[in-house]
Amino acid sequence: MTAQLKELFNTEAKKYYLLENRNFIVNEDNKSFLNIFCKYFSQDPDFETSHKGELRKGLFVFGSQGTGKTSSFKIMQNVSKEYSLKQVWTPIVYTQKVVEQFNLAESGKTDYVIQYFSKGKFMFDDLGAEKEASNFGKEDIFGRIMELRYNQFLQKGTKTFVTSNLNFEDIKNRYGTRLYDRFYQMFNVLELGGESKRF
């Protein structure tokens, strides 16, 4: 199953990067990440045995700018669409967009925005890059969203996916120790390192 998903991912990655006039680069920086990423999405037991991960948790993918984090999730979305693989479908939302929706909400309706993003599967792109929300007072709303999602994870097994330039120490500094501690329980942490592939 992993071998098949890898092949589909490879095909879609080539198509994806071709639209940017680029070849799909696989090198020492991303090889093992891509391998584990595909294992996770094919629910390969090897993800738990060899990689000490847990398939019931979500994924926290971190690394510096331009290493291919967002693209990897977008490619997996394309795999899901192209081959009708519902189990690998993950809606992607940009964290700053969530903050903007919150800021634009009428007073008294901001809770709907928080509630909406607290339920169901989501990939939050670029956690930590969003500005503080500003709607009759300033607030780091992802602290609240993530805590609600943690409760959903415990109650229903709801999975959360994240890409970020922050590591867990940085998460602690921005959102506090309460969330930092919860993150260990709800995420498998994967690093996608290396130099930026942007040019």
Phi and psi based region of residue 127 (left: phi greater than 0; alpha: psi -120 to 50; beta: remaining): beta
User: Is residue 65 near ligand ATP by the rule CB under 6 A?
Assistant: yes
- Rounded Cα–Cα distance for residues 63 and 32 (Å): 14
Q: Which does 198 bind (CB under 5 to 8 A by kind): Mg ion, ligand ATP, none?
A: ligand ATP
Are the beta carbons of 58 and 160 closer than 8 angstroms?
yes
What is the sign, positive or negative, of the torsion defined by CA atoms of 34, 37, 41, 46?
positive
Q: Which is nearer to ligand ATP, 22 or 138 (CB)?
A: 22
Smallest distance, ligand ATP to C-beta of residue 73, A? 8
Q: Is 67 in the site for ligand ATP (CB under 6 A)?
A: yes
What's the rounded Cα separation, in Å, for the pair 10 and 173?
Answer: 37
Kindly indicate which of the ranges 69-77, 93-101, 149-157, 169-177 contains the residues binding ligand ATP, using the contact rule CB under 6 A: 69-77
Q: Which does 15 bind (CB under 5 to 8 A by kind): ligand ATP, Mg ion, none?
A: none
User: Which residue, 5 or 114, has its beta carbon nearer to ligand ATP?
Assistant: 5
Nearest-Å Rg of the Cα atoms of the chain is: 17
Distances (CA, A) of 107 to 39, 88, 103, 153: 44, 36, 9, 28
Q: Residue from 2, 42, 71, 158 that binds ligand ATP (CB under 6 A)? A: 71
Q: Interface residues with ligand ATP (CB under 6 A)?
A: 17, 20, 22, 24-25, 30, 63, 65-71, 126, 163, 165, 197-198
